[in-house]
Structure 1
Amino acid sequence: MPDVVIVVDMLRGFLEQGNPLYCGDSARRIIPHVQRLLEQEIARGSKVFYLADRHDPDDAEFKMFPPHCVAGTAEAELIPELASYPGETIPKNRYSGFFGTPLEEKLEALRPGKVIVCGVCTNICVLHTVSDARNRNYEVEIPVDCVASFDPAAHRFALEHMEKVLGAKLTRVAKAEVAAPRFEVDPSVLSGETADIYFLRAVEILKREGINPLATMEVFSSRAGLLCGMHEVHALLDQILPKDNREVWSLSEGDTFEEKEVVLRITAPYQSYGAYETAYLGMLSQCSGWATAARECVEAAQGIPVISFGARHLHPTVAGLFDYAAVVGGCTGCSSVAGARLAGMTATGTIPHALIIAMGDTVSATLAFDKHMPSDVPRIALVDTFKDEPEESVIVAQAMQGRLQGVRLDTPSERGGVTADLVKETRARLDLAGFKEVKIFVSGGLSAERIRYFIDQRAPVDAFGVGSYISGAKPIDFTADIHQVDGQPVAKRGRIPGITPNARLKRVM
């Protein structure tokens, strides 16, 4: 059975500036994700329906909303970015795509395995269409990065309602594109120094007893999250498992996983990997915790870039792994050189307070930065050291004579931290001074909740820098259990013997 994708109201009237019901920049940011969704689903043979608002000039809906998407006008047209994707357009004049349209009979004819709903607005037409689909017993998925609304709080409420009340499944299309790094396994890991002693003793006993069964080990999680650390686990297993007698299946780096879902399955002589359980569980646990926290911030930001600034909160030997995990979680950049190297990108940073204080003022420090740094390094000034942030933003922009690309607000908690009003004032004063191109970067004590505050207040933030919320994330517990020995199902009490089915696993060795 083919699946069905329902694209809701991705129309010029909602997605292009200047129209009375323009849904805002957050809606524009979902366009590339919807494109990716369509490319993936069309390649799989899914059927696409475009629900399109088409109103009469005197439609009753215009008593609540300004006239919009009147039939025959440009507002009622599909946005150009989606025009080349095949699919059938179904006009509608109410919130639900099922009301007064042929959608229901078309779905009945197709009998889809699931219905994927995307588009705008999350809390209006998407919500009502999903509700009617669930009331007709269709399995519904909603890619959270493919829906948007002009009202951030209502957007979040609708997602929660569709998941927890209507029973729809929230998914994600976009996956961080991180090139597989080449991990060098630390000698202390290979030697067993980092292992729990009881694993070393178990392997020693088995060797002395001459017992080395072909054992299948399965690894599963204690809670849902975003998988990270698997590339490093693969590097470890590739070194320790016999190449002529091994089979490894796993989820991929950056995949989401559910509670208790098997993410890794190893079949090999037990002595070859028994001492390394501590290592591969730890690799997955810590990195997945960081990546999951990063994803929370990225989702809260609704398409606004999030950069990892948390390396300073960790021991330097793991700073690179941390920043790499943050990028896997969706951060568009990271501050440490080691993390950027693992993620295949250039480290991101602005100007520290120390440089400004050492040079005596922000303008001098910014001009020196501009003078000595390569041209490909963004010119972003830190503007909260000595003067009022909006005032200093304008002063630095004037001194840079068109070369300033952005300002960073990092107001300390002693002065109330960065607020939405401060961001709005800074934006307004830069615009009035003729510096509309200068972006505003916010950092300092940010969390997913704090990012949502800026979004809800419609603060014109162009990027967020997040540190301790990601670096201090709780690790995700992973557990490893033997489920098969020499081909025979077995398990400890409380677990089900034998291989646990998971069609999402891919063989990697």
Structure 2
Amino acid sequence: MAEIRSLADVKKIKLDANRQLYSANEQEILDGYTTDIYFVRTIDILDSMGIADKIVTAEIFARKPGVFAGIQEAFNVLKNKDLEIWALQEGESFNAKETVMRIIGPYREFAIYETILLGILASSCGWATAARECKEACQGKPFIVFGSRHVHPSVAPVMERAAVIGGASGASNVLAAKLLGIEASGTLPHASFLIAGDTLPVAIAYDKTMPVEHKRTVLIDTFKDEPEEAIRVARALGKNLYAIRLDTPSERGGVTPELVREVRARLDLEGFNYVKIFVSGGLYPEKIRALSEAGADAFGIGSYISGASAIDMTMDIKEVEGKPVAKRGRIPGRVENEKLIRFK
């Protein structure tokens, strides 16, 4: 494999006949295989004119406000190029039309990467922004991102990592957690209880199997009334039980504030006031606030984050050989942003 430099290079690309997945691998992205073809065509045309190496300033701006994420990947795409790179730091908030990244150097050096850079930033910022909205709704309480099952596995680690940048307390995805340098978080699925035929024996085996420091959290909506099962599990595990998890399906009305209040009250009446309530299942900011006010202590959030729309990013050439330029409708020259820091 080699970096695409011309249309002739595109024609030379041959894929392995035994390829198992359609997603681009790391090297294919770094070599420009996921670009839009018109950027490659542009380089051929500018080359024929002898101007492909003109020094330009390009700026990326967002179409709406959000939380910045994805810059490390974007930087890694360009780090071996003869370029000066400026950008916001991850986790920084930005406004609509605010410059989030600036690239200075020969146009040839980054032309084919425009599609790739915009895609990295658009998706990552969309996920991080949704996570920030959830964090605000949690009002200081922790939440874990559970969204990998809703997206293609090739981007699941990117999504969960962006969610942590945006404010999630932890990630369920193993690779995302490894990339972040943290331990993956999670409880047990309904499958474990369904296979065993009863919640209690699984809860007991879970308690015996996990290391002492593990926070034992048991799902209690599989077979029985939730308050009843919560008490049953709490009696069996005692002080070892950190939390119970409510994930009541929509077919039964989902997790409601009333259910959370009842479970909390019944646990307290039985002396299990130390057992926390972890809730999950189709959560979104308004519902998170309501469940938090009802007594929920922590949250598992998936589809609201994984399904968040990408924040549309646009790259504009703002200077050519030091001269301010812009297409009609936009103001020529750099759009300064004091929050930008130099990466290279």
- The TM-score with structure 1 as length reference comes to 0.61
Q: Deviations over 1:114-152 (max 9, x none)?
A: xxxxxxxxxxxxxxxxxxxxxxxxxxxxxxxxxxxxxxx
1:504 aligns with 2:339: yes
Tell me which of 277, 281, 289 is aligned to 2:126: 289
Tell me which of 77, 80, 85 is aligned to 1:248: 85
Q: CA deviation at 1:411?
A: 0.3
Q: Is the 8 A contact 1:192 1:200 kept in 2?
A: no
Tell me which of 56, 63, 82 is aligned to 1:222: 63
Q: CA deviation at 1:360?
A: 1.2
- Over the matched positions of the two proteins, sequence identity in percent amounts to 53
Letter in 2 for 1:204: D
Q: Deviations over 1:328-364 (max 9, x none)?
A: 1101011101111122211110010000111111111
Deviates more, 1:265-274 or 1:423-432: 423-432
Matches within 5 A, 1:208-219: 208-211=48-51, 212-219=53-60
Partner of 1:196: 36
Matches within 5 A, 1:444-483: 444-455=281-292, 458-483=293-318
Tell me which of 394, 403, 407 is aligned to 2:244: 407
Q: Deviations over 1:373-405 (max 9, x none)?
A: 233332000000000111101101111132111
Q: CA deviation at 1:210?
A: 2.8
Partner of 1:70: none
1:339 aligns with 2:176: yes
- 1:285 and 1:296 map into 2 onto residues whose CA distance is 17
Equivalent residue of 1:401, what SS?
helix
Partner of 2:15: none
Letter in 1 for 2:316: D
Matches within 5 A, 1:43-58: none
Tell me which of 204, 207, 225 is aligned to 2:47: 207
Aligned pairs, number: 319
Q: Which has the higher contact order (CA 8 A, sep 6+)?
A: 2
Letter in 2 for 1:347: A
- 2:300 and 2:337 map into 1 onto residues whose CA distance is 37
Q: Deviations over 1:466-508 (max 9, x none)?
A: 1101100010000000000111111111111111121111111
Equivalent residue of 1:277, what SS?
helix
Partner of 1:328: 165
Partner of 2:216: 379
Partner of 2:3: none
Q: Deviations over 1:432-473 (max 9, x none)?
A: 111111110010110012112224xx2111101111011000
Partner of 2:75: 234
Q: Is the 8 A contact 1:206 1:271 kept in 2?
A: no
Q: Is the 8 A contact 1:219 1:262 kept in 2?
A: yes
- 1:362 and 1:229 map into 2 onto residues whose CA distance is 41
Equivalent residue of 2:155, what SS?
helix
Partner of 2:97: 260
Q: Deviations over 1:401-434 (max 9, x none)?
A: 3211100000001111111111111111111111
Partner of 1:388: 225
Q: Deviations over 1:24-46 (max 9, x none)?
A: xxxxxxxxxxxxxxxxxxxxxxx
Partner of 1:169: none
Tell me which of 268, 280, 287 is aligned to 1:431: 268
Q: CA deviation at 1:206?
A: 2.4
Letter in 1 for 2:34: T
Q: Deviations over 1:83-118 (max 9, x none)?
A: xxxxxxxxxxxxxxxxxxxxxxxxxxxxxxxxxxxx
- 1:297 and 1:262 map into 2 onto residues whose CA distance is 25
Equivalent residue of 1:371, what SS?
helix
Equivalent residue of 1:317, what SS?
coil
Unaligned stretches of 5+ in structure 2? 1-24
- RMSD value, Cα: 1.2
Q: CA deviation at 1:207?
A: 2.9
Letter in 1 for 2:175: A
Letter in 2 for 1:232: E
Letter in 1 for 2:56: A
- The TM-score with structure 2 as length reference comes to 0.90
Runs of 4+ residues deviating >3 angstroms: none
Partner of 1:299: 136
Equivalent residue of 2:239, what SS?
coil
Equivalent residue of 2:218, what SS?
strand
Letter in 1 for 2:36: D
